Amino acid sequence: MADINIVQEHHLAPEQARAAAQQVADKLAEQFELACRWEGDVLRFERSGVSGSLSLLPHQAQLQLELGFPISMMAAQIEAKVAEKMRKVFVV
Q: Rounded to two decimals, what is the model's pTM? A: 0.91
Q: To the nearest whole percent, how much of the chain has pLDDT over 90?
A: 84
The arithmetic mean of pLDDT across residues 4-14, rounded, is 96
Which residues form the domain of 52?
Answer: 2-90
Structural domain tally of the chain? 1
If pLDDT is split at 50, 70 and 90, which confidence band does 70 have? confident
Phi and psi dihedrals of 3, rounded to 5?
A: -115, 140
CATH number for the domain spanning 22: value is: 3.30.310.80
pLDDT of residue 92: 58
